[in-house]
Amino acid sequence: MKSPKMFILLFALTAFVVPSADAQWAVFDSTNYVNALNEYDQLQQMYTTANQTRDQIIQAYNLAHQMSRMPQNLYQRYKADFSQWTNLSATDTYGNTSGWVDALNLGSSSRASTAYNKAVIQLQIYPSTYLTAQDAATQTAIKNQYATSELGQATLTSALSTLGTIRSNSEAFAQKLANLESDTFSTDPSQQTEMAVLGKMNTAAVLQIRSQQDANQILATSAEQQALEAKQRLDERNRLINQAIYFQQNFSGTMQNVTGGVSNAIRAISLRTSGR
């Protein structure tokens, strides 16, 4: 009895385990599985990179936001006052100082020329008949003094024009500096962006160059005056040297004329019969 039962059980198990010829079985493809894993890794890397990029953008935004916020007390801590150009004023008792004041306050070569003509003693033309009557050395000395006076006039009028122009432009220049200072210490975020700060840096550099240019003009004017003074000292020294040379060359003849004149005078007195 047991044998038929065991046979039937084995047959049933065999029929269940062993598939028939018409049965469809799922086939495992390892290549597709590997590709799927690679795509998953790539997606995971993209997700990680996206998170890192997001964090960097947030940090950059926070830094830009922090940089755009100016400390509230920066203006009070670093603001400095500087001396301002002031207009010159003077009394005008006889009407010959107002032109000079205008030239120093407003500039221009025409105002400087007017100021010179009104406030400075004018140089008269040396009469040609008197000049030609002088010896060569005297004529040279006279012409030299005229050159010094004319150069002095040109230097002085140039200095008046330069200083007046700088003084006249100082008010507008001071306003530009005030605007730059206000924007620099402003708490407005639009004034603290990277482009705004770069623009203010460029503006400050330009204003510094313009200010240095004015300083150079003043130094040039001072140098011109010093050159004129050096010419005057050199002329005086040369005249002294020339006078010494003339004295050495003509000393003997001059002394002979002097002694000869004294002898003739004594002789004339001694030959008078009246004794007077």
Q: Average pLDDT in the 249-260 region?
A: 66
Q: Do the domain assignments include residue 98?
A: yes
Q: Do the domain assignments include residue 42?
A: no
Q: Do the domain assignments include residue 99?
A: yes
Q: Please check whether residue 224 is in contact with residue 158, taking contact to mean a CB–CB distance below 8 angstroms.
A: yes
The 10s digit of each residue's pLDDT in 25-72 is 555 566 776 777 788 888 888 988 998 999 899 888 887 777 666 665
Q: Average pLDDT in the 258-269 region?
A: 59
Alpha-carbon span 188 to 70, nearest angstrom? 8
Q: Please check whether residue 158 is in contact with residue 227, taking contact to mean a CB–CB distance below 8 angstroms.
A: no
Write the burial class of residue 245 (CB in 10 Å: 0-12 exposed, 13-18 middle, 19+ buried).
Answer: exposed
Q: Please check whether residue 84 is in contact with residue 177, taking contact to mean a CB–CB distance below 8 angstroms.
A: no
| Contacting residues for 78 by C-beta, under 8 A, at least 6 apart | 185
Distances (CA, A) of 33 to 36, 42, 46, 180, 217: 5, 14, 20, 67, 84
Q: Do the domain assignments include residue 56?
A: no
Q: Do the domain assignments include residue 24?
A: no
The 10s digit of each residue's pLDDT in 220-236 is 778 777 776 877 777 77
The 10s digit of each residue's pLDDT in 106-132 is 888 999 999 888 888 888 888 888 888
Pick from 208, 120, 107: nearest CA to 162: 107
Q: Average pLDDT in the 166-185 region?
A: 81
* Residue 264 pLDDT level (bands cut at 50, 70, 90): low
Number of neighbours of residue 241 by Cβ within 10 angstroms:
10
Q: What is the pTM of this model?
A: 0.56
Instruction: Note the pLDDT of residue 134.
Output: 85
Question: Does residue 193 sit in helix, strand or coil?
Answer: coil
The 10s digit of each residue's pLDDT in 181-199 is 777 777 777 777 777 777 7
For the chain, the average pLDDT equals 75
Q: Do the domain assignments include residue 134?
A: yes
Task: Answer yes or no: is pLDDT of 140 > 80.
Answer: yes
Q: How many domains does the chain have?
A: 1
* Residue 177 pLDDT level (bands cut at 50, 70, 90): confident
141: domain range? 92-244
* Residue 76 pLDDT level (bands cut at 50, 70, 90): low
